[in-house]
Amino acid sequence: MDRTYIESQHIVQRYLSGDLSVREAREFEKYCTEHPDVLNSLPIPARVKAKMARKPGEAVSDFGGDSSDVDALGMPSHTALAAAGMDADDDDDDDDVDDDKPSRWQSSPDGARRWVMMLGFALLLAVGGLVAVLMTTSATEKDLKAQLRAAKAIQLRPPGNVQTFRVTPVPNQPGSPTINVGNPESAMLIDLYVNVSEGSYNTFLVTIDDVARGRVMQIRRVARDSNKELRLGLNSSAFGIGDYDIKLEGYTWRGDTVPVGWIRLGLK
């Protein structure tokens, strides 16, 4: 028996599994005893190698078997060695498992703790984002409702009646309404007859400003009629509650404007 024969016939595997004949097993054991370097290179458990490396006549009491497990060379039979090899493999596997278990159990709490912290942080971010979105949505909804109420309050409606006012502008901006219209429940047409008989201006620039909020409209080149009056028809639903200044300016022949007077319209 040589190494080539051992490899080609799978002697090691068959020896450990107990499939060799008695003659083949003894030849293999004898070859291993005579060639310890080959024995060391074979994939045989260390405990079995130690048994096989003993010379004939060496004590085998440490093997733990009876006389039936010892062959004529003073070595354990291949069946006993196979059993011993399997025991050794089992012991080695158990040792490996025992060695691995503490490391896994020791590292597991730290890894789990890190995952819990990461998930908690992600959950906190998600909750914070949700709260921010809800707050923004609530503020937007309130603003939209306020704008809808304001739009509804000044929604243009067709006038149901006409109320006529005759007024003469005052030279300076007034501090109180010169015309009090009130706040009619239904829209009405405010028909203004503005006396601009004084002066030589035939066309006028009419500017209407909300005293509290600013510019409302501006009408250019409004001509006075034959009675030297400006006719202005205003829909009350186009104005919210408040005071409105009507500024009158006359156009010169060069196109420049000159202040003529003021009217303050009060809607209460």
Asked if the structure places residue 147 within a domain, the reply is no
Does residue 216 contact residue 240 with C-beta atoms inside 8 Å? no
Residue at a domain's end among 70, 91, 112: 91
Residue 238 in contact with residue 244, Cβ under 8 Å? no
Start-to-end Cα distance in the chain: 123
254 and 170 share one domain: yes
* pLDDT computed for residue 91 by the predictor: 46
- 197 domain residue, yes or no: yes
| Domain of residue 221, CATH code | 2.60.40
Provide the pLDDT for residue 62: 42
35 close to 44: Cβ distance less than 8 angstroms: no
Sheet holding 203-210, edge to edge: 179-180, 257-267, 242-251, 203-210, 214-223
Last residue of a domain, one of 91, 125, 149: 91
Query: Cβ-count burial of 124 within 10 angstroms (0-12 exposed, 13-18 middle, 19+ buried)?
Result: exposed
| Displacement of CA 266 from its chain's centroid (Å) | 53
**pLDDT computed for residue 95 by the predictor:** 46
Q: State residue 205's pLDDT score.
A: 96
Q: How far lies 244's CA from each of 70, 185, 267, in Å?
A: 124, 19, 8
- The radius of gyration of the chain's CA atoms, rounded to the nearest angstrom, is 56
Domain end (from 66, 91, 116): 91
Q: What is the pLDDT of residue 38?
A: 76
Q: Which domain holds residue 177?
A: 161-267
Q: What is the mean pLDDT of each run of 10 residues along the chain (268 residues)?
A: 79 82 83 79 78 61 42 45 46 46 53 85 89 86 79 72 92 91 79 91 95 92 93 87 93 94 91
Beta-carbon contacts of residue 196 (< 8 Å; ≥ 6 apart):
169, 204, 224, 228, 229, 230, 248, 250, 260, 261
Is 139 inside any structural domain? no
